[in-house]
Structure 1
Amino acid sequence: MAIREILEAPDPRLKTISKPVETFDAGLRTLVDDMFETMYAAHGIGLAAIQVGEPIRLLVIDLQEEDPDAEPVECEHDGHKHTHPAIKNDPRVFVNPEILDPSEDMGTYQEGCLSVPEIYADVERPARCRVRWQDLEGKSHEEEMTGMMAVCIQHEMDHLNGILFIDHLSRLKRGMALKKLKKMREAA
């Protein structure tokens, strides 16, 4: 497993429309492992493959948080030992996901994004949606998503279509967010 670089706005690759996954092999599993490691290292809850430069319809989500009462976890890979905070994991992998039936009732959540670091804004999305996807073996699944999972899956699926959460904001708010991001980069 490896931690990959996360693309940040306004990188034009984030506007790429991702292609369907056609090959379910060891390379796909390695990418998924890298994506989880990258997401956890960045303290995120979701990551689309395009965010690590891979324009395929793949995303990973884990809504669970660090467990402050558990001992840190030590692991070794690439010849190095690492200590990670203990996490109550519920890792989910979605290959070629599709939203089938978004609800008409809407919900507003404050969203952030690993590709737009330190920027948060309220985004309105359908409160529920039915999602169809494939797992790492290519088997199809379907599930009704609600709450934070519905928000997260819609946010990540936007990435697969070249859309960032700030694209849901007014032009003024989006411009302010990008200006803030640019100032933070210049200060770093």
Structure 2
Amino acid sequence: MRKVLQVGHEHLTRVVPELEDLTNLKVYRNHICELIEVCEEMNGMACASNQIGESVRMFVMKNLITGEYKAYFNPWIIEGNGRNRGLEGCLSFREPEVQYYVRRKQNIKLKYADINGDEQIEVFVDLEARCIQHECDHLNGITFDKIGKLK
């Protein structure tokens, strides 16, 4: 299993650039499998590529209903509404493990490319919306200790 970078590592503070060529995203299948393995081994719901030291603007997230993982390339939150404050954990805050209260949008609309390179727009609510905002923050070089309050 790939090692998850921990808070303080400079790679976690960098903005991950968008992928310019979306015509052959299947070349990232091994990378997707590595991210899923990290989630499974560490009991996480999602993981962004920069958390394992890669500079690919994507993350994987587990669907709460089906239990299947899905990859989101070049994700951008294009709309959001509602506010809630909730407790979050993070795979990059496991040594020692800490949690933060973070205010997030309750509902979001996400634009992303799927594994086939096709643009998708999808609405997410509640925990999935929170998780996506957390992963997009990672891709933008933001960790939740910068925007939340320690539990």
Task: Output the CA distance in 1 between the equivalents of 2:86 and 2:12.
Answer: 22
Q: Which runs of 5+ in 2 are unaligned?
A: none
Residue 80 of structure 2: SS of its match in structure 1? coil
1:91 and 1:155 mapped to 2: Cα distance? 16
Contact 2:63–2:70 (8 Å) recurs in 1: no
SS at match of 2:109: strand
Larger RCO of the pair (alpha carbons < 8 Å, separation 6+): 2
Distance in 2, matches of 1:114 and 1:15, equals: 15
Q: Deviations over 1:130-167 (max 9, x none)?
A: 00111111011111110101000000000000001111
Q: How many residues align?
A: 147
Aligned counterparts of 1:25 and 1:41: Cα–Cα separation in 2: 25
> Do structure 1's residue 107 and structure 2's residue 74 form an aligned pair?
no
CA distance in 1, matches of 2:16, 2:69: 22
1:124 is aligned, of 100, 103, 106, to 103
Tell me whether 1:169 sits opposite 2:151 in the alignment: no
Match of 1:34 in 2: 34
Whether the 8 Å contact between 2:14 and 2:141 is mirrored in structure 1 is yes
* Runs of 4+ residues over 6 Å off in structure 1: none
Larger Rg: 1
Structure 2 residue 9 is the aligned partner of structure 1 residue 11: yes
Answer yes or no: is the 8 Å Cα contact 1:49–1:55 preserved in 2.
Answer: yes
Which secondary structure does the structure 2 equivalent of 1:155 belong to? helix
The match for 1:137 is 116
Deviation at 1:63, TM superposition (A): 4.7
What's the TM-score, normalizing by structure 2? 0.90
> Which residue number corresponds to residue 82 of structure 1?
none
In structure 2, how many angstroms separate the alpha carbons of the residues matched to 1:12 and 1:51?
11
